[in-house]
Amino acid sequence: MTFGTSGPVLLSYAVGVAATCLLTPLVRRLVVRVGVLDQPNERKVHTKAVPTAGGVALFFGFLLAAWAGGAHHQMRAQALMAVIAGAVLVAVVGFVDDRRGIAAKTKLLLQIVCTVPLLIGGVTISVLSNPFHSDMIFLPQWLAAFLTIGWVVGVTNAINLIDGLDGLASGVSAIACVALAIVALGCGQPAVALLCASLAGSALGFLPWNWHPAGIIMGDTGAYFLGYMIAAVTILGAFKMAAAIAIFVPMLVLAVPLLDTALSPVRRYLNGRPAFAADRDHLHHRLMALGLSTPRVVVLTYIVTALCGAIAVWISRVG
């Protein structure tokens, strides 16, 4: 890995941090003016209305970072346009949900629709490494589409579900994207690393405004955008590593949100509640019930995510 490959990645990261940090207070003033506020209720940790839809700053911070690093020169135009088009759609869905609210089943349907640009642009899980052999497994189109939709929707909702404490989703996303960027660079995928670094930088740039007590939260606008983009970049890169263990790398990096997402419907079913019903029984809520403060729960989750990310990087190097 030389500066020729890592230089644009570092530049994207720095621009993402700076741009999002500068854009967030502007977005905050705008959403306060138009009344996009997250109101407290029995599920929420905060006790007063908080400006939401901070994901708008994340979105534009990412775009500036990716452009500064030259993503439009390093990636196939069709793939890049597919990813950006889907990101726009999912951010709009999130913003509408932040402002007006959308029913759970309708949100799920709209999230599936947001994967259509990826399917059209060929950004799909079409090839998997064989865990039992060095050969690659080439999937039929219908299965590739099914797995792509499932992965994108799953990761999108995983990031959304952990966005329950100030700074949690933004910090976890930043750490996960740094790990994915390192994996991508090590596997000779500078374009994927650049996108990951742009995401990591924008998430980190949002964190000072989102740290407890948060002056603004990313809302569904930001959670959907981050989740969708993380899913998309793992499809572009980590799933297609030559190592047989490659399929497990993005899952390990995202272990915390994916585990919480997998446990949620099971927990609700066992409690006799609808699978998609919101509750206050996620992993971070359980830690708070043990007496940990919001910052301590968030930092603990950061540490676990960083450890998982470090293991994923190590696996990608030795696999």
Q: How many CA atoms lie within 13 A of 113 on its CB side?
A: 12
Q: Which domain holds residue 30?
A: 3-318
Comparing 194-208, 226-240, 274-288, the range with the smallest average pLDDT is 274-288
Using pLDDT thresholds of 50, 70 and 90, give the confidence band for residue 82. very high
75 DSSP assignment: S
Using pLDDT thresholds of 50, 70 and 90, give the confidence band for residue 2. very low
Contact 237, 107 (CB under 8 A): no
Using pLDDT thresholds of 50, 70 and 90, give the confidence band for residue 187. confident
Comparing 19-28, 73-82, 154-163, 238-247, the range with the smallest average pLDDT is 238-247
pLDDT digits (tens, 9 = 90+) for 244-258: 455 677 888 888 888
**In whole angstroms, what separates CA 279 from the centre of its chain?**
21
Q: What is the chain's percent helix, strand, coil content, to nearest 5?
A: 70, 5, 25
Domain total in the chain = 1
The arithmetic mean of pLDDT across residues 98-104, rounded, is 91
Please state, in angstroms and as integers, the Cα–Cα distance from residue 113 to each residue in 71, 89, 225, 257, 307, following that order: 25, 9, 14, 22, 34
102 DSSP assignment: -
Number of Cβ atoms within 10 Å of the Cβ of 34: 9
Contact 212, 298 (CB under 8 A): yes
Q: Which two tokens stand for residue 85?
A: 């088009």
The arithmetic mean of pLDDT across residues 24-52, rounded, is 86
3 state DSSP class of 11: helix
* Model pLDDT, residue 130: 61
Q: Which of 269-278, 285-294, 296-305 has the highest mean pLDDT?
A: 296-305
pTM over 0.85: yes
pLDDT digits (tens, 9 = 90+) for 109-124: 999 999 999 999 999 9
How many angstroms separate the CA atoms of 300 and 306, rounded? 10
Q: How many CA atoms lie within 13 A of 188 on its CB side?
A: 3
Give the type of residue at 121: G
* Model pLDDT, residue 169: 94
pLDDT digits (tens, 9 = 90+) for 231-245: 999 988 754 554 445
* Model pLDDT, residue 134: 59
* Model pLDDT, residue 268: 66
As to burial, measured by CB atoms within 10 angstroms (0-12 exposed, 13-18 middle, 19+ buried), residue 88 is: middle
**In whole angstroms, what separates CA 168 from the centre of its chain?**
12
Please state, in angstroms and as integers, the Cα–Cα distance from residue 94 to each residue in 44, 102, 166, 225, following that order: 18, 9, 18, 8
* Model pLDDT, residue 146: 95
Write phi, then psi, for 244 (nearest 5 degrees).
-65, -25
Using pLDDT thresholds of 50, 70 and 90, give the confidence band for residue 42. low
